[in-house]
Chains A and B, each alone.
Chain A
């Protein structure tokens, strides 16, 4: 009963090669992206020639890019980026014009003809979404100011790519009006979808996701369904508009991103990030490994000398242009430096643009090879700048600060430190919150249920929706900096994870039910392990003893407990009352 549909051998080889390369890279301290790309070069037509592009690998790498943008979208809280929208627009447009000019200039100088040079200029002005976002995610810098600036600029570039692709797909334009129409249509479409996504996130999604968010699996699948809806609409926008006589194209990345943005405005997006992340990692790996699969060595290396020169000129040019523009917008020297340094590579979209230009017969296939090589070279080099950016900044920082404006662009962000973290809101921890508030200025509660989070927030507590097992949640509540952690999760795994991450000085109170687990958690450094069963059975035996031997004491205590139960307030100020022995 061996299935006829065997798993694709090509895919298996790509996966294996990329994995092996990834492990090698990790061991030698190289960025994994480079390893993935090189693995593709080695097994693909350029190297061994044992793998070529198949529909499956192509689909998975498209999915990779879509997921990458979806993931990015989920991280974009409008509130957090609203204040940088203006500088993003002011920087990205001149930046693209500037880089395109440099690209065209260097191409002309290298001996390409005018049309080729213009196309090359148009192809090199974007930085690589895949590389930048992947590296920002790996370095955990997506929410830094330079991270957000770069992401914003990349998205502006994405809009421009979409427009240019639309123009190229229409073939050589007859007139400027045709270009203008295409432009107007694409911009309108992007605007419509953005408005639709934001409207949905305001009105349609909250009631839907509030119901679903408590079910981990359904939440994930329904969010994917939502993302695919946008991907599908963007990709097939042409079909929808055809009856109206309009031709237009949108990228699936744009759709995926906007679907993510709509979810990002909901309080449950953190949880989703951790669910989408592994899928993205897997598919993006296939994406990078497939970059070099579509060309053979002859095409790729036809203009290799020119490619090296162009790569160097473009990297320097991009850095300078970004640096000047970011300084002009009065960003501090650190943001300016990293914001520029991270954007020096040529995008995979450059290759896509070139491919479209080949199809539209603007350029020959060797130019495509040239642009692919430039993209590979610049991506490869830029990844090292990500890796060693900090070291560079340490040296260059003092010189750069002289370019810094006097009043720099700033933003505030809430950071916890020396605070108390409570994991899980239930009958056990609920009554302790009041007690902890007396001792700590900052108290944050993590819970997996949306109604709990809403209740907590209504009472003025800081509450985070999500699972402490996920690293972004742990980061959000600054577990590392907490002075006190109380977890009522009886999962030992969660307890161990917390112990591993908290500082040695922190007081960590955990819960466990099994005696072996109690011992284990103590051995790993817990300060206090609650055995709720034994705590409550001790108490229960007290009650039973009273019932059998001192009926009056029992009646008083039972009365008192019933009173507590009948108190309708969700946050009773009970910790004053809930202590002492039965006869207190």
Chain B
């Protein structure tokens, strides 16, 4: 067995218990792998694993490239580019300043700035699963902020790839970068389909084909002196494709990525020189103070800046706070930038160590803040730290004077629309409550009465005159909101939605008039339909016609 294989074996063996720990406490894998790396560093010579770690870096960036949907970039940018860029500029600036203040040379302090400015996509996506699935505003917002940051990271690596901050080499780098993007586009447009056809039904060939493509892009990048990260990103764009058609390919690439990315994180951890254990006290304290500064910047200052920017952009205090709390960690891209900078000598070991340690710490604290985000928001808002101004709600809402006996519909999604239609048909007065800025125009256009505000705020309900409402229907399915409504204790009948039966039961017990479990309701309809089909009494064509008609298809 080669020494390298022994190193890989040790990496995975050490990682095992850490990953079990991650699973036990529902933590993301990345920070635990870094910690495993710190332990593994005592047993293996990490320089051996560096070569494999490079594949991890390449595959991380490659996957980011593969995931980009060109069509949705436009909407995403409109949504949160300011938030993301503002965050990068303000937090990054503060990071640089803090670094300089702590005695780090300005050239290296730039990397500290970048480190704190960028947030981790993989950690946040792991934590935000529910929010993303249920299409909550803050899920989408957080995701798009991270998207802009990741793009920025790739651009930053490209520019810094020039090695010096002078115009000519930077222009050259950008020129090469453009060439790579064009090549990626051409491959995507012409070569990829050909490859798919030639591979036939063989996932194996597709996988090795794409891996070779990645290697070619990386190889050409290093041949012309562009960072391999840029090559990997372009390769990702080149194979960005319909995932269904190539399901086997993308599932396969995920395995390969997981394998090498794990090696990457462990290697990063192994590169750390541990304070006190491997170095003297004075230097350790210096390094730790840098770590503390980075952690404070990331965990306290970055969310604060994000909240400020989002509130300025017209988001509710709660949405802004919860979104900000999903970005309070250091990104894997920061680690990539740091490791590359360390390898070419742009970064001192101490500063690198500080970034890696701070990344591991913030990725874990981020899980905690995410878990208690609601409580954090209430604490802040109770002390008036997050603004409680109602001007925005007043300005954006339109509720007829003296509306009573009305239906309040919380959430203007598909279900909400259906209920509004019903109310209009039957002439029941209603008020819609919504807080997604993306739906603002729809609501304003479609609805007679509406309130733009957060359902967690008492003022929103006051504005909708909930005191005198007849029925309150909440279709959001958020348990926190449901509990809040029950606690507010209005006289109106409360029709709530729950994601599962257990929640539904406990909401009923807590005093809800009716709790809809969508799957249960749908199940009732479904059983009726299926029995018809299985008995041969109901033709599927009939169902199809009804369903397509209902959604307005010919």
Contact = CB atoms under 8 A, between A and B. Distances in A.
A232 B471 contact: no
Nearest to B552: A515
A42 interface: no
B383 interface: no
Contacts of B544: 522, 527-529
Contacts of A535: 521-522, 525-526
Contact of A226 (B16, B198, B513): B16
A541 interface: yes
Interface stretch (A103-111, A176-184, A276-284, A380-388): A276-284
A579 B528 contact: yes
Contact of A558 (B204, B513, B517): B513
A462 interface: no
A5 B548 contact: no
Contacts of B252: 277-278, 281
A285 B24 CA distance: 36
B3 A1 contact: no
Contacts of A227: 12
B379 interface: no
A1 B340 contact: yes
A427 B9 contact: no
A228 interface: yes
A27 B205 CA distance: 11
A428 B2 contact: no
Interface residues of B, number: 117
A218 B19 contact: yes
Contacts of B422: 541, 544-545
A30 interface: no
A541 B426 CA distance: 12
Nearest to B422: A541
Interface string B497-540: 00011001100100001111111111111111111011000001
Interface string A537-576: 1111101110111000010001001101110000000010
Given A23-B209, A232-B9, A55 B3 contact: yes
B51 A7 contact: yes
B2 A469 contact: no
A543 B514 contact: yes
A227 B533 CA distance: 49
A534 B546 CA distance: 12
B346 A1 contact: yes
Nearest to A24: B198
B505 A565 contact: yes
A202 interface: no
A258 B58 CA distance: 32
Contacts of B415: 533, 536-537, 540
Given A497-B244, A544-B407, A565-B505, A221 B522 contact: no
A278 B200 CA distance: 17
A469 B11 CA distance: 30
Nearest to A9: B219
B212 interface: yes
Contacts of A435: 527, 530-531, 534
A217 B258 contact: yes
Contacts of A222: 16, 19-20, 23
Interface in A268-318: 274-279, 281-282, 285
Interface in A468-516: 469-471, 484, 486, 492-493, 496-497, 507, 509, 515
A212 B22 CA distance: 10
B530 A509 contact: yes
B543 A528 contact: yes
Contacts of A564: 520
B526 A427 contact: no
Contact of B9 (A27, A228, A539, A554): A228
A435 B528 CA distance: 10
Interface stretch (A13-21, A115-123, A163-171, A327-335): A13-21
B51 to A, nearest CB: 6
B232 to A, nearest CB: 10
Interface string B1-42: 111111011111101100110111000010000000000000
Given A427-B501, A540-B419, A580-B528, A530 B426 contact: no
B228 A579 contact: no
Interface stretch (B63-71, B82-90, B155-163, B356-364): B155-163
A533 B157 contact: no
Nearest to B409: A544
Chain A CB count within 10 A is highest, among B198, B208, B552, for B208
Contacts of B426: 545, 548-549
Given A529-B547, A565-B504, A26 B219 contact: no
B2 A58 contact: yes
Given A15-B212, A225-B16, A427 B500 contact: yes
Interface string B67-104: 00000000000000000000000000000000000000
A229 B414 CA distance: 51
Contacts of B51: 5, 7-8, 56
Contact of B551 (A3, A426, A515, A541): A515
Contacts of B414: 533-534, 537
17 contacts: A3-B228, A22-B205, A26-B199, A59-B2, A217-B258, A228-B9, A235-B6, A278-B204, A278-B252, A427-B520, A428-B520, A431-B523, A432-B530, A522-B548, A536-B525, A549-B426, A561-B520
Closest 9 CB pairs of A and B: A278-B252, A225-B16, A427-B519, A535-B522, A536-B521, A536-B518, A539-B521, A228-B12, A19-B212
Given A6-B228, A509-B530, A544-B407, 15 more contacts: A5-B343, A15-B208, A26-B199, A218-B23, A225-B12, A225-B16, A232-B9, A252-B5, A278-B204, A281-B208, A470-B251, A522-B544, A530-B526, A536-B525, A537-B419
